Amino acid sequence: MRDDLWREALTHGSMGEARDYQRLEFLGDRVLGLAIADWLHEKSDAAEGKLSQRLNALVSRETCADVARTLGVPAHIRLGKQARDDGGADSDNILGDVMEALIGALFVDRGFDVAQAFVRRAWNKPMAGGAGQRKHPKAALQEWAAGNRRKPPVYTLVRRDGPDHAASFTVSVEVKGVGVMEARGSSKQEAETSAAREFMNRFA
């Protein structure tokens, strides 16, 4: 890959440089989505709803961040001192964005076929592991509450810590008459998902 593209894809905005990963992340997000959608269409006869469920899981911020960690990306991200001190190199949001930026850079440099081949190698474990085949934790909790004649779960943002580039969110979820669980995440959505998962593990 061209050095300038590689550098841009790994550069966080906190570096204060003229070019950071955002434009390549925008492009890589679309390339990843198409590569995964084509892969799912090729290997599965599932209905559109099931394919969409798996696609959403496989391109999620959490999955992209997990792939980035597996590939050793965190050690190469170019972060400003404050962002690094605040844990930016382990943020799902930043890791997910950088992973997509790297895919975007590969697409610009080598074209779709090479980018697609990379995605299939890098995402082999999540694909083989059945990511997205199970119900999303929030959907599972919603159904569990309804099936047990309880009111729908209520999610509350308890607190938000840290700067914008490395924020941490704590969210609680309550099913009235059953209990409350809290969880943290690098986005409100991630924290809600974790809280729902923990609630199901404890109470369902």
Q: Which two tokens stand for residue 3?
A: 């050095």
Q: For residues 101 and 32, give the distance between their C-alpha atoms in angstroms, rounded to a whole number.
A: 10
Are the beta carbons of 168 and 146 closer than 8 angstroms?
A: no
pLDDT, one tens digit for every residue, the chain (204 residues):
788 999 999 999 998 998 999 999 999 999 999 999 999 999 989 888 888 888 988 998 889 999 999 999 999 999 998 888 888 888 888 999 999 999 999 999 999 999 999 999 999 998 987 665 566 788 889 888 988 899 999 999 999 988 877 788 999 999 999 999 999 988 888 899 999 999 998 998
Q: For residues 168 and 191, give the distance between their C-alpha atoms in angstroms, rounded to a whole number.
A: 9
Catalytic residue among 8, 20, 25, 29: 29
Residue 21: the pLDDT is 96
Which CATH architecture fits 3-128? Orthogonal Bundle (1.10)
Does 3 participate in catalysis according to the annotation? no
Are the beta carbons of 131 and 63 closer than 8 angstroms?
A: yes
Fold held by 137-203: Double Stranded RNA Binding Domain (3.30.160)
Domain ranges in the chain?
Answer: 3-128, 137-203
Does 29 participate in catalysis according to the annotation? yes
Catalytic residue among 66, 86, 100, 190: 100
Predicted TM-score (pTM) above 0.85: no
The helices-and-strands tally (H runs, E runs) of the chain is: 10, 3
